[in-house]
Structures are given as structure tokens and as C-alpha cells.
């Protein structure tokens, strides 16, 4: 299984960018590409041919409110969506995915900055063959660090988890293997981190098996 992290390497030495490849290493062969790289579409085609998945990473261009909606970031998200590969989006990457699928980005009234929260998982109306939260129960602790959040009222995405101060802690597409989380699994405790990334890889494998049938 391969994973392609679509990221902004201007912040390549920051803490989260170091943690994410390590968190994925047990389930995938990991490569990082700059979201503005001219070779992104070719990398995505290769990723699909090898049954891999893309991670829209959490490291922003700046920490300003409009980060997820810059034209360059929007274009990169649309290229990833158009590629047809399974997607897992984290924090600002999740905001970019939500924005790209019809959602709205809001400034948080109660920013969740550098703290542990309790994520509460919604009981799904339609049971997925593989959920990214399989094995984690109805709630679990997670690390979070964000000042904006998504409003998905007009989006194609469905909310799958919440917290006290953030209505949309996670969401997924109802028919495509697109999942995203507002919190940081790569910075959360090992059981949470490893379970989520194993489930992401398993969901990608399930998708390719289903589409190849």
C-alpha cells in the first residue's frame, strides 16, 4: 500500500510534518509532494495504478483563516478529487476538502488550540464495510489545533464525528472513499493514531477490490 502526502513543504521542518510520515509508515510506503508541484497529477495517476491513497496534509501555507481557500490550494484539492484515489484529509487539508465539496469555512467561536478533546462518533445511518473509526468505540481522546471549522450544510460530505466546541470533527463522502478529520490523529495517543491509519489503509484496499470486481 502506498500513501502520497499532498503538502506544503515550506513548512517541511515543522512538527506535524515530521509526525505524519512516521504515523503512516506501518501501513504504507510514504511519499510527500508539494501541493503546487507540476508532477502532482502524474504522481496521483501512479498512485491509483498501485492502489494507493492520498493524504491532504495538515500543514498550512500560513495560519491565517483563508489558508484552505487560496486558489492554489483549491486547485490542488480538485486535482486530488479528480484523480479518483481514496482521500484522507487532516485539519487544514480537511477544511480544503470540505471547501472543495461545497462546504463553508467558518472562524471558530471557541478555537481548539493545542489541547486534547473528546471526539464523539455518530452512529452511521448506512453501515460502511470499513469505517475509519472501527475499533475506537463511541468516543476517544484526540489532539487538536485549529481556529476555523467547517459548515457542511451545503456539502456533499456527511458528518461522522463531533466534539463539544467543534460540530464537524470528521466527515466522509457517502459514495466515494473520501474521509477527513479536523483533529490530528498523528499527534494523538498511539492506539487512536494507529487504529485510524490502519482503517484508512483497509478502506482504500476495500475500495479497489470493489471497483475491480
Rounded to an integer, what distance in angstroms lies between the CA atom of residue 177 and that of residue 18?
25
Residues of the chain with pLDDT under 50: 11-16, 60-64
pLDDT score for 137: 95
The pLDDT score that the predictor gives to residue 11 is: 47
Secondary structure of 110-133 in the HEC alphabet?
A: EEEEEEEEEEEECCCCCCCCCCCC
CA atoms of 94 and 179, how far apart (whole Å): 8
List pLDDT tens digits, range 23-42: 899 999 999 888 888 999 99
Taken in order of first residue, the domains within the chain and their CATH numbers are 2-212 (3.40.50.880)
* pLDDT at residue 22, as a whole number: 87
Burial of 16 (0-12, 13-18, 19+ CB in 10 A): buried
For residue 191, what is its C-alpha cell? Answer: 492506539
Determine the pLDDT at residue 93: 87
Residue-level pLDDT at 96:
86
Specify the pTM.
0.91
User: What's the confidence (pLDDT) of residue 36?
Assistant: 83
Per-residue pLDDT, 16: 45
- The strand ranges marked E within the chain are 2-7, 29-34, 53-56, 87-90, 104-121, 139-151, 158-162, 170-172, 178-181
Amino acid at each position: 500500500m502506498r500513501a502520497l502526502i499532498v503538502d506544503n513543504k515550506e513548512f517541511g521542518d515543522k512538527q506535524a510534518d515530521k509526525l505524519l510520515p512516521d504515523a503512516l509508515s506501518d501501513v504504507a510506503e510514504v511519499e510527500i509532494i508539494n501541493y503546487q508541484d507540476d508532477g502532482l497529477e502524474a504522481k496521483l495517476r501512479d498512485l491509483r495504478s498501485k492502489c494507493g491513497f492520498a493524504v491532504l496534509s495538515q500543514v498550512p501555507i500560513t495560519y491565517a483563516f483563508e489558508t484552505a481557500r487560496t486558489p492554489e490550494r483549491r486547485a490542488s484539492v480538485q486535482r486530488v478529487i479528480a484523480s479518483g484515489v481514496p482521500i484522507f484529509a487532516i485539519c487544514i487539508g480537511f477544511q480544503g476538502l470540505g471547501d472543495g465539496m461545497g462546504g463553508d469555512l467558518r472562524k471558530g467561536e471557541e478555537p481548539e488550540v493545542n489541547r486534547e478533546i473528546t471526539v464523539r462518533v455518530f452512529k452511521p445511518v448506512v453501515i460502511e464495510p470499513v469505517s475509519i473509526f472501527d475499533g475506537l468505540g463511541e468516543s476517544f481522546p484526540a489532539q487538536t489545533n485549529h481556529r476555523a471549522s467547517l459548515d457542511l450544510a451545503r456539502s456533499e460530505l456527511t458528518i461522522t464525528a463531533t466534539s463539544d466546541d467543534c460540530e464537524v470533527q470528521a466527515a466522509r463522502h457517502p459514495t466515494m472513499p473520501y474521509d477527513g478529520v479536523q483533529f490530528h490523529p498523528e499527534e494523538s495517543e498511539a492506539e487512536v493514531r494507529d487504529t485510524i491509519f490502519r482503517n484508512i489503509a483497509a478502506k482504500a484496499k476495500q475500495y479497489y477490490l470493489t471497483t475491480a470486481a
